[in-house]
Structure 1
Amino acid sequence: MNSAVHDNSARNRFELDINGQVVFANYERRGSTLIIRYVEAPPPLRGTGAADTLMRGVAQIARAEGRTLTPLCSYANVWFRRHREYRDLVA
């Protein structure tokens, strides 16, 4: 699995390509905050950890850029509650 999450700023989403299928998180930038609006994984990747890998990458990018995150998506919100090591990023 290629675990390189990248920012597709033209589409306002972070993406993770896994064998030609893309897991993504739509976002909106507001100052130094990234608002995560929606996370989606194609049906064949659901339950494989792909969305978890995507969220870890999003959190690492936000930390490296000095940003905070606001998870509006229910998946992202639950993910941050389960991964306390990234709670400092939640605005």
Structure 2
Amino acid sequence: MPAAVRDNKDKNRFELDVGNEVAFANYRLTPQAIIITHTETPRSLRGRGIASELVKGALELIRADGKKVIAACGFVVDYLHKHPEDADLIA
């Protein structure tokens, strides 16, 4: 079972530990929004829903922070299209 998604503010990325590996989503900050620019899942973890779990957790953290999200990463764009319940977060 993966650990919770965390915001690594020093590296400007959301991270999810899975075993000895880390999936991450890089971001840039604006005053009102977080721009997710790239997601990466280690090759050995691909196809297991890890990236979706990462994005879901990142969106939960963004929501808790009272911010909006700008999807500058194709995976995040696709995730948001598949999850209309998160449409309120889109800047």
Q: TM-score, normalised by structure 2?
A: 0.96
Q: Which amino acid aligns with 1:82?
A: K
The answer to whether the 8 Å contact 1:26/1:39 transfers is yes
Which 4+ residue blocks in structure 1 deviate beyond 4 angstroms?
none
Unaligned runs of 5+ in 2: none
Residue of structure 2 equivalent to 1:77? 77
Q: What do you get for the CA RMSD once the two structures are aligned?
A: 0.7
> Deviation per CA, 1:7-45, whole angstroms, max 9, x where unpaired?
111111000000011110000000020000000100111
For residue 60 of structure 1, give the secondary structure of its aligned residue in structure 2. Answer: helix
Matched, 1:14 2:14: yes
Q: Give the structure 2 partner of residue 56 of structure 1.
A: 56
Give the aligned length: 91
Distance 1:7 1:59 in 2: 11
The share of aligned pairs that are identical, in percent, is 40
Look up the match of 1:46.
46
Does the residue aligned with 2:3 lie in a helix, a strand or coil?
coil
CA–CA separation in structure 2 for the residues paired with 1:90 and 1:79: 12
Please give the TM-score of this superposition, normalised by the length of structure 1: 0.96
SS in 2 for 1:55: helix
